[in-house]
Amino acid sequence: MARLKGRGVAAVNYPTGMNLGGDPSQALIHATTTGSFVITLSSVDLGQGIKTVGAQIAAETLGVPYESVMIDTADTDTGPHCMGTFASRGTHRIGNAIMMAAKEAREVMMCVAATELEVDAGDLVTDGKGRIHVNGAPDKGIAVLDVALAAHFKHGKTISGRGMYLKPKSEVVPETGEMDPDSCQAHACTIAEVEVDDETGDVTVLKMTNAYEIGRAMNPALAHQQIVGGAWMGISHALYETTEPYYPNRAHGPLDFSEYLMPGPGDIAEMDSVIIERPSSNGPYGAKGIGEMTANSPIPAIANAIFDACGVRVTSMPITPEKILRGLDALRGNPN
* Rounded Cα gap, residues 69 and 62, in angstroms: 10
pLDDT value, residue 3: 93
Mean pLDDT of 214-240: 94
* Chain segment 110-150, per-residue pLDDT in tens: 999 999 999 999 999 999 999 999 999 999 999 999 999 99
Instruction: Indicate the helix (H) or strand (E) that contains 187.
Output: strand 184-197
Average the pLDDT over each of 29-33, 100-104, 158-162, 178-182 and give the range with the smallest value. 178-182
Cα angle 31, 34, 38; round to 5 = 35
* Residues whose CB is less than 8 angstroms from the CB of residue 77 and which lie 6 or more positions away in sequence, other chains included: none
- Cα(44)–Cα(50) distance, rounded to whole angstroms? 8
Q: Yes or no: is domain 3-16+184-331 CATH 3.90.25.10? A: no
The two domains 3-16+184-331 and 25-165 share their CATH topology (first three levels equal): yes
| pLDDT tens string 241-287 | 988 888 888 888 888 888 888 998 888 899 999 999 999 999 999 99
Angstrom distance (rounded) from CA 132 to CA 109: 9
Q: What are the residue ranges spanned by the domains of the chain?
A: 3-16+184-331, 25-165
Mean pLDDT score of the chain:
92
Strands 184-197 and 3-16: antiparallel
In 185-253, which residue ranges form alpha helices assigned H by DSSP? 220-239
DSSP state of 97: H
Q: What is the pLDDT at residue 23?
A: 81
The domain made up of 25-165 has a fold known as Aldehyde Oxidoreductase; domain 4 (3.30.365)
pLDDT computed for residue 336 by the predictor: 62
The answer, as to whether pTM is greater than 0.85, is: yes
Q: In percent, how much of the chain has pLDDT > 90?
A: 72
Q: Say which DSSP state 90 is in.
A: I
* CA pair distance 135, 260, nearest whole angstrom: 61
Asked if residue 65 has a cis previous peptide bond (ω within 30° of 0), the answer is no
pLDDT, position 335: 63
